Structure 1
Amino acid sequence: MPDLIVIPARYGSQRLPGKPLIPIAGQTLLSRVVTVAREGARRAGNAAVVVATDDSRILDHARSLGCDAVLTDSAISSGSGRAWAAACDRAPEIVVNLQGDAPFVDPALIAALIAALRDSTGAVATPVVQLDWAALDAMRAHKQSSPFSGTTCVRDAAGRALWFSKTVLPAMRNEARLRETDALSPVFRHIGLYAYRFDALRAFEATPPTPYEQLEGLEQLRFLESGVEIRTVAVDPPRHAMSGIDTPADVAMAERLIAQFGEPERAWR
């Protein structure tokens, strides 16, 4: 059974309804993410791609792209839940949850996370990027208009995640001095990409939403609150440095990045 890359693509986003079908520089958001997933599967080898959606319009669009797609229960509220719904009948060893609003993920990250779990006994893996000061300033500025866009991660020296938050963490008492002495800030931005062992994802789905998960709106906190270790993989910053597409302002930013740096595929070669 090949490993499975699932693209959860929900129509009913509160902040940006129908966002998988929204055009970004001439291509739908879903089309862009499918392209990422296919390249990640090619690099990983022995991996398949499926779109998991709650809406027939998205299902039809995915199939028009030549991508396998399944219709999942509209009551499912999390990307991990939709990934589980798509994977449970197939029982792959590893399930990758590639959020349907993440068009700038480097496919190499998908392959790297799959490789990390294939070569270890880890349960969950996810990438993070350490921000330089300019990138941190840009994140803070963007949060002025979109406070819940962009997630930070606090991790230990071995790469184990300690916490994830929509707030910029950690707070810094002596930031001015740090800026003078360090090229990089101590802030890690989380890239919304996960690889799970099938059994870890099954246990996650059997656990009710946890308090901090609900407060932050971050499903990965359910793992941490349940005592499950999440391994973070530090990666180089992507050329198109932004988080997921959550608001009209994010759509505009994505189009500006494409205009400035070109199509993401250019950076994959």
Structure 2
Amino acid sequence: MSDLLVIPARFGSTRLPGKPLVRIAGHTLLARVVRVAQCAAALAGDCDVVVATDDHRIARHAEGLGCEVAMTAAEIGSGSGRACAVAIGRDPRPGIVVNLQGDAPFVPPAMVAALIATARHSSAACVTPVIRLDWSALDAMRAHKARSPFSGTTCVRDAEGRALWFSKTILPAIREEATLRMAGPLSPVFRHLGLYAYRLDALERFEATPPTTHERLEGLEQLRFLEMGLFIQTVAVEPPTHAMSGIDTAEDVALAEQLIARFGDPHAA
């Protein structure tokens, strides 16, 4: 039985229409994410890669990239919903389903593979990575949120890595920040990366449950797991060289190209 890595890809982004087909330094966003997924699947072993979309333009492009495509219903409103729809239609069904968001072109393949390995040995409903921000990265997130307040997600977790909350607000609030800055290079803020490895049975329960109050308020589907009382395990990882939140706006595309110019193009590696 193979696990499954799904890339949900919608054409109708309100802030960046046609987002999966937008070019970043010569390659489409989808091409970059597909390459991450294919490399990660090869590292993890026993893992298939599928692009899940409701748009034939995206489907044709994905097939041209040599990736399997699953057409999903247009009314499915979330990435996890598309991932679940693809997974339950396969025979045999996968045990672990990875939702690699289609706007995350700089996730290291080794990080995805490590997440799959963790999920295979965990009882958590969901496993997801977080990055502890240093002070300069926290300052950069604050500046970015001044322009795009709903870009980038933070996570509050306990000492064992169990997620307590996720928010589009920068959490936790920090008292006596100046003192903490002098005490060490790392802030207490964890940035969440939009990457999930689900147990399929938990994902089916999730999809059978209506959106919850805080999920709707924050626009964060992972909050439904927490409001259902399910366990999300976070894994602290090192920040990628090309560190940024997802591609949500034209300004994000420009930032991604600046990172590529500065640090090199991982797509060409």
Instruction: With the length of structure 2 as denominator, give the TM-score of the two structures.
Output: 0.97
Counterpart position of 2:228: 226
Kindly report which structure 2 residues correspond to 1:122-133, keeping only aligned pairs within 5 A, or say none: 122-133=124-135
2:258 to 233, 253, 256: 256
SS of the equivalent of 2:61 reads helix
Q: Kindly state the Cα deviation for residue 203 of structure 1 after the two structures are TM-superposed.
A: 0.5
| AA matched with 1:199 | D
SS of the equivalent of 1:169 reads coil
CA-atom RMSD, angstroms?
1.0
Find the aligned partners of 1:254 and 1:82 in 2 and give their Cα distance. 26
Find the aligned partners of 1:144 and 1:180 in 2 and give their Cα distance. 25
Q: Report how many aligned residue pairs link the two structures.
A: 267
Counterpart position of 1:209: 211
Find the aligned partners of 1:166 and 1:178 in 2 and give their Cα distance. 23
Q: Kindly state the Cα deviation for residue 264 of structure 1 after the two structures are TM-superposed.
A: 2.1
1:39 correspondence with 2:42: no
SS of the equivalent of 1:104 reads coil
Q: Kindly state the Cα deviation for residue 265 of structure 1 after the two structures are TM-superposed.
A: 4.8
Counterpart position of 2:138: 136
| AA matched with 2:256 | A
Instruction: Summarize the Cα distance change of 1:57–1:265 in structure 2 as closer, same or farther, 3 Å threshold.
Output: closer
| AA matched with 1:68 | E
Kindly report which structure 2 residues correspond to 1:34-73, keeping only aligned pairs within 5 A, or say none: 34-73=34-73
Find the aligned partners of 1:86 and 1:246 in 2 and give their Cα distance. 24
Find the aligned partners of 2:262 and 2:33 in 1 and give their Cα distance. 20
Find the aligned partners of 1:120 and 1:52 in 2 and give their Cα distance. 26
1:247 correspondence with 2:252: no
Q: Which runs of 5+ in 1 are unaligned?
A: none
1:198 to 178, 197, 200: 200
Find the aligned partners of 1:172 and 1:121 in 2 and give their Cα distance. 32
| AA matched with 2:115 | L
Find the aligned partners of 2:254 and 2:75 in 1 and give their Cα distance. 30
Counterpart position of 2:83: 83
Among the aligned pairs, what percent are the same residue?
Answer: 69
1:178 to 177, 180, 186: 180
CA contact (8 A) 2:32 2:267 kept: no
| AA matched with 1:154 | V
Find the aligned partners of 1:263 and 1:168 in 2 and give their Cα distance. 29
Q: Which runs of 5+ in 2 are unaligned?
A: none
Find the aligned partners of 1:200 and 1:112 in 2 and give their Cα distance. 20
Of 110-119 and 129-138, deviating more is: 110-119
Find the aligned partners of 1:119 and 1:227 in 2 and give their Cα distance. 20
Q: Which runs of 4+ in 1 moved over 3 A?
A: none
Instruction: With the length of structure 1 as denominator, give the TM-score of the two structures.
Output: 0.97
CA contact (8 A) 2:8 2:53 kept: yes
Query: Could you list the per-position Cα deviations for residues 196-237 of structure 1 after superposition, in whole angstroms to 9, with x for gaps in the alignment?
Result: 001011001000000110111100000001000100000011
Q: Kindly state the Cα deviation for residue 121 of structure 1 after the two structures are TM-superposed.
A: 2.2
Of 56-65 and 108-117, deviating more is: 108-117
Query: Could you list the per-position Cα deviations for residues 49-107 of structure 1 after superposition, in whole angstroms to 9, with x for gaps in the alignment?
Result: 00001100000100011100011111111110011111111120100000000000011
Find the aligned partners of 2:166 and 2:54 in 1 and give their Cα distance. 27
SS of the equivalent of 1:131 reads strand
